Structure formats: C-alpha cells, structure tokens
C-alpha cells in the first residue's frame, strides 16, 4: 500500500441553518484516485473547499505528508501543492484561454509574456488532446470547452494533489476518455487525486477507493474494484433505487406534430429540419461541438439564425427572442445555470416563480405568501435540499441549484420543453425522480426535447433520437433503432 499523502479527521462545518460536515473524515494515498460520492448536498464540495482553504472549518485536523496544516486561504493550499477543478466554472469570460490558465502567476514572470503563456497552453492542450486556440476568449466557448480549460488549469500547477469536483458532468465519452488517460499518467507520477462524480460507471473505471458521505457524515470507504455499484448507491441514499425502462408501444399511429423546424441554420448549425410530436420525448445526441445546444438556442430565439422556419401546430411563427418563445409556449432549461438559468443572489422561491411572476402580483403587490407556498410545493416535489425557500440559490449545492431550474420550468407549464443536460450534477436518486417527472410531463401531452451527453440517459428516455455531428443532422433514429453503437456511428460521421 502506498504512502499516505493526506488525512482529514473530525471536520466540522456549519452554515446558517445547515450542519454541512459532521466529524467528517477522508484520506488520500500517493498515486491513488479516491472517489468521493454522495447525494446532492451531502457535503462533498464543502469538504474539498475546507481542504483547499476556501472554507475555514469550526474544527478538525488536516495532515499533509504527516505535517499538520491549517490553510487560511486558497493561495496557501495551492502553494502546498493542492489544486482543484471546481464544480462551478470560475473562468473570466473576457480573458483568453491561456490568460485564464496562467492568471495570478505573475510572480513567475509568466503573465508578462503573451507568447510564452500561449505556447505553454498549447503544450497543455496537446497533452489533453484539446483542440482549441489558446487565444480564444473564454466567453465564446461552450460550457464543456470551458470545463476542459479548468482541467488544463488544475493540471498546469504540477500539484501533489488534484481534486476534480464533477469534471465530467458536461463532457461526452470521448473527452472523458482523454481525461482518464491523463489521470492514469498523473497516477504513475505519484499524484493523489480526489474524484467527485455522480456517474457510477466512472467510479469503477477510474478510482482505486471510494468514500461515501451522507448528510455531512462519513459513511464508509470501499475498494472500487470489489464493491458493487448497488452497494455504493445503498450507502449513499440508504435505500434501493430502481431503473424504469422505456417500453415500445403498440400504437403505430403517431400523434400530431406540434413543432416543425425547417432548414434551420446559423454559423454553428447547418440546415437542420425535424418534427416533434405531441407527448413525445425526442433526444438530441452528438459529441461536444455537434451543435445541439446551438440548435436549441435558435429554436428558443436566443441566437440569430441565418435561415430557417419554425411552425407550431402547423402555423408559421416568428421567434425573435426568448421572450417570444416563452409567450408561444416554448421553455428552455439551459445547460449553463450560471449564465442563463438562475439568479444566484436571489432566493430559491423567487427563482422558482421568476418566469411566472405576473401571476403573483395583484394590484401591483407581490404576494410573498403565495410565492412561498408554491415554491415549497416544488421544493418537496423534486426534493430540493435547502433549509428554507428563502435561502439564496448561491448557497445551495450544485445539484440542488440544477433542481431549482427544473422546478422553475415545471411551474411555467410550457407546451414544449427543451431540457439541455437536465441531470448534470444530479445524484442517482434525484435523477430517477427527474426522469419520472419528465415522463409524466410527456404523458400529460407536453412535448419534450432532451439534450444529453449521457448516452444511458438518452437510451432510457427518448422515443426517437436526432443525431448531430459538426452542426449537421446525420440521423433520426426510431425507438427500435436506438442503441449506443448506432448513435455513436452517426455522432462521428462527417
């Protein structure tokens, strides 16, 4: 067994109304990948923020290479050789990729010379097989590309310990493979890594040990090769969840078309046409950069199209802005909750009712009571973990923030709902809940588009799957044609 790098014991952390860590412990060996799992709000990110000097715990001991440490700032942790890829992106949109990676390292003389940071970034990108221009402004990149830059940044520090807080939530299989290759290389160099993920298959694949937290408490640590996924889930949620599969219906007659998109094009989307039926769940599959989000944003009026028509119930409509789309009954749950989905500084309740605010105003007065009541209902329905509906959204765990977005659009009651990576960062138990809700919506006659990078999610949810590759629509698969190989074939076909 290799040498112990890190040991955390008796870590206590309180937030107003929340006991986030209860005598929590964790350890990490040299050259090990240690997975950290637990439901949304279990305390995973908080524990790692304590380790990296972002949160100061009320009590607890941390030893790093047998020396007691007590980080008071992120900088101190970084100097001690600990690097973190945060769950929420922390990049500066107006800076280039290279500047984001090397910012704050002026003391090394690096920031002074654009060329040297661009060269170093290119080197890093090569290593990670990232095909991006170091001089591209981060604000122009997709969420998944931004995530790759966060990963490149964490790796660039030559740290002893690297923490990955849900690095793969926005990545597709191909990028995940690249990340795992790098992680294996880092392992052989003796780097210890903490790996947080809600994707159980990854945990078996990449980690040596797995530690489970529940409600801020340490539950146990298992050998990843030996432990069964069902047992991990059981440790996480204290109960067994089961998967419900799609059944092929005997009903051959298709319900009417509610949305028809014809020849939709923009700089990222190439002449896409498709139809969405009433009560249908249509999956959008493809690799990163395939143009799925871009297509959704064109339908929602968030970006400018160069050509294309939209028909709702057979009538041509003009969607010039998201406002038009919402008015016409189209909802879009963005993959990027920070930029488009939520007002982080506002309460859970106000975020949930935001698109519907008009309904809570009578004679110019907002009814706080009504808002609280309806918000509480949805908080219970999809199990949002928060001390109250008055809590600010920025204080919720990542997965619970995602649930707030879902609640918001559920309440809006649109006829057509586009879910872009709906379960990103959502734990296994809550995922089943969200799938159930989406299925129920479809059964009640809502028409749904799901964009997902998780193939099992598309396989499980979709009635049909539209596959895209580099902006082009390469296939539409019917229920009996939907399988992993066929999707991958069309997703990589140019």
- Please give the residue ranges that form the binding site for Mg ion (CB under 5 A): 45, 87, 397-398
DSSP string of 416-453, one letter each residue:
EEEEESTTTT--HHHHHHHHHHHHHHHHTT-EEEEE-S
Among the residue ranges 233-241, 277-285, 294-302, 389-397, the one whose residues contact ligand ATP (CB under 6 A): 389-397
Between residues 190 and 429, which has the closer beta carbon with respect to ligand ATP?
A: 429
- Which single residue is written with the structure tokens 């923030």? 401
395 is a contact residue toward ligand ATP (CB under 6 A): yes
Least distance between ligand ATP and beta carbon 372 (Å): 18
Between residues 45 and 452, which has the closer beta carbon with respect to Mg ion?
A: 45
Between residues 213 and 285, which has the closer beta carbon with respect to ligand ATP?
A: 213
398 is a contact residue toward ligand ATP (CB under 6 A): yes
Between residues 165 and 268, which has the closer beta carbon with respect to Mg ion?
A: 165
CB neighbours (10 Å) of residue 98? 28
Least distance between Mg ion and beta carbon 41 (Å): 8
Of the residues 25, 38, 160, 457, which one makes contact with ligand ATP according to CB under 6 A: 38
Least distance between ligand ATP and beta carbon 38 (Å): 5
Q: How far is CA 46 from the centre of its chain?
A: 17
Least distance between Mg ion and beta carbon 410 (Å): 23
Angle at the Cα of 383 from the Cα atoms of 378 and 389, rounded to 5 degrees: 55
Angle at the Cα of 103 from the Cα atoms of 97 and 104, rounded to 5 degrees: 165
Helix segments in 33-167, DSSP class H: 44-51, 74-79, 97-102, 114-128, 143-155
Least distance between ligand ATP and beta carbon 24 (Å): 10
Residue 396 touches which of Mg ion, ligand ATP, none (Cβ within 5-8 Å per kind) = ligand ATP
Residue 25 touches which of ligand ATP, Mg ion, none (Cβ within 5-8 Å per kind) = none
Least distance between ligand ATP and beta carbon 252 (Å): 42
Q: How many residues does the chain have?
A: 494
Residue 385 touches which of ligand ATP, Mg ion, none (Cβ within 5-8 Å per kind) = ligand ATP
Least distance between Mg ion and beta carbon 425 (Å): 7
86 is a contact residue toward ligand ATP (CB under 6 A): no
424 is a contact residue toward ligand ATP (CB under 6 A): no
**Tokens read off for 299:** 């339908």
Distances (CA, A) of 347 to 256, 293, 369: 39, 27, 14
Least distance between ligand ATP and beta carbon 138 (Å): 23
Distances (CA, A) of 437 to 120, 257, 382, 434: 47, 22, 9, 5
Between residues 162 and 465, which has the closer beta carbon with respect to ligand ATP?
A: 162
Of the residues 6, 34, 40, 232, which one makes contact with ligand ATP according to CB under 6 A: 40
Of the residues 144, 400, 452, 474, which one makes contact with ligand ATP according to CB under 6 A: 400
Which helix (H) or strand (E) segment holds residue 25: the answer is strand 18-29
Residue 471 touches which of ligand ATP, Mg ion, none (Cβ within 5-8 Å per kind) = none
Of the residues 87, 118, 351, 447, which one makes contact with ligand ATP according to CB under 6 A: 87
Residue 350 touches which of ligand ATP, Mg ion, none (Cβ within 5-8 Å per kind) = none
Question: Which residues lie below 8 Å from residue 116, measured CB to CB, with a gap of 6+?
Answer: 110
Q: Which of the 8 DSSP states describes residue 346?
A: S
Between residues 53 and 398, which has the closer beta carbon with respect to ligand ATP?
A: 398
Between residues 159 and 428, which has the closer beta carbon with respect to ligand ATP?
A: 428
- Beta-bridged to residue 62, according to DSSP, are 8, 69
Which helix (H) or strand (E) segment holds residue 379: the answer is helix 368-381
Give the separation between CA 287 and CA 272, rounded to whole angstroms. 16
Residue 51 has φ and ψ, to the nearest 5°, of -60, -35
Residue 144 touches which of ligand ATP, Mg ion, none (Cβ within 5-8 Å per kind) = none
Least distance between ligand ATP and beta carbon 471 (Å): 32
Q: Which of 179, 155, 181 is nearest to 101 (CA)?
A: 155
- Beta-bridged to residue 259, according to DSSP, are 276, 312
Least distance between Mg ion and beta carbon 330 (Å): 31
Least distance between Mg ion and beta carbon 386 (Å): 14
192 is a contact residue toward ligand ATP (CB under 6 A): no
Give the separation between CA 423 and CA 419, rounded to whole angstroms. 9
Of the residues 42, 143, 193, 285, which one makes contact with ligand ATP according to CB under 6 A: 42
Of the residues 385, 408, 464, 473, which one makes contact with ligand ATP according to CB under 6 A: 385
44 is a contact residue toward ligand ATP (CB under 6 A): yes
Contacts 24+ apart (CB under 8 A), 261-265: 261/299, 261/308, 261/309, 261/310, 261/311, 262/308, 262/309, 262/310, 262/311, 263/307, 263/308, 263/309, 264/295, 264/298, 264/299, 264/305, 264/307, 264/308, 264/309, 264/310, 265/305, 265/306, 265/307, 265/308
| Burial (CB count <10 Å: 0-12, 13-18, 19+), residue 106 | exposed
Residue pair 348/391 in contact (Cβ under 8 Å)? The answer is yes
Residues 146-185 that bind ligand ATP (CB under 6 A): none
Between residues 45 and 168, which has the closer beta carbon with respect to Mg ion?
A: 45
Residues found near ligand ATP in the complex (CB under 6 A):
15, 18, 20, 38, 40-46, 87, 385, 395-400, 425, 427
């Amino acid at each position: 067994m290799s040498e112990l790098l890190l040991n955390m014991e008796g870590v206590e952390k309180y937030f107003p109304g929340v006991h986030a860590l209860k005598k929590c412990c964790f350890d990490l060996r040299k050259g090990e990948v240690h997975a950290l799992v637990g439901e949304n709000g279990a305390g995973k990110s908080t524990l790692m923020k304590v380790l990296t000097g972002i949160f100061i715990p009320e009590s607890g001991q941390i030893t790093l290479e047998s020396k007691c440490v007590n980080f008071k700032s992120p900088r101190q942790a970084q100097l001690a050789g600990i690097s973190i890829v945060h769950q929420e992106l922390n990049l500066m949109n107006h800076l280039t990729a290279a500047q984001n990676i090397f910012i704050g390292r002026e003391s090394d003389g690096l920031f002074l010379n654009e060329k040297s940071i661009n060269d170093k970034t290119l080197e890093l990108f090569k290593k990670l097989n990232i095909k991006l221009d170091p001089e591209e402004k981060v604000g122009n990149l997709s969420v998944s590309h931004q995530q790759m830059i966060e990963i490149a940044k964490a790796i660039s520090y030559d740290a002893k310990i690297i923490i990955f807080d849900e690095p793969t939530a926005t990545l597709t299989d191909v990028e995940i493979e690249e990340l795992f290759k790098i992680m294996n290389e880092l392992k052989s160099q003796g780097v210890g890594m903490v790996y947080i993920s809600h994707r159980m298959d990854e945990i078996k694949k990449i980690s040596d040990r797995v530690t489970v937290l529940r409600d801020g408490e340490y539950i146990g640590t298992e050998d990843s090769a030996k432990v069964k996924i069902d047992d991990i889930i059981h440790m996480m949620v204290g109960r067994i969840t089961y998967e419900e599969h799609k059944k092929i219906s005997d009903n051959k007659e298709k319900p009417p078309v509610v949305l028809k998109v014809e020849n939709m094009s923009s700089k990222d989307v190439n002449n896409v046409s498709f139809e969405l039926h009433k009560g249908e769940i249509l999956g959008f599959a493809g690799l990163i950069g395939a143009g799925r989000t871009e297509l959704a944003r064109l339908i929602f009026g968030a970006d400018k199209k160069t050509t294309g028509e939209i028909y709702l119930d057979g009538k041509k409509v003009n969607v010039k802005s998201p406002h038009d789309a919402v008015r016409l009954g189209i909802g879009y749950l963005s993959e990027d909750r920070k930029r488009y989905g939520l007002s982080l500084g506002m309460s859970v309740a106000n975020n949930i009712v935001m698109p519907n605010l008009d309904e809570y105003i009578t004679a110019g007065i907002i009814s706080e009571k009504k808002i609280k009541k309806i918000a509480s209902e949805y908080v219970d329905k999809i199990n949002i973990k928060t001390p109250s509906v008055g809590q600010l959204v920025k204080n919720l765990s990542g997965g619970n923030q995602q649930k707030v977005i879902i609640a918001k659009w559920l309440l809006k009651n649109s006829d057509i709902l586009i879910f872009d990576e709906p379960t990103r960062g959502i734990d296994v138990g809550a995922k089943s809940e969200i799938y159930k809700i989406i299925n129920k919506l479809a059964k009640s006659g809502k028409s749904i588009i799901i964009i997902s990078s998780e193939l099992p999610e598309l396989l499980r949810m979709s009635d049909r799957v539209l596959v895209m590759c580099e902006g082009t629509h390469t296939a539409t698969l019917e229920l009996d044609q939907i399988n992993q190989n066929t999707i991958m074939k069309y997703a990589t076909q140019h």
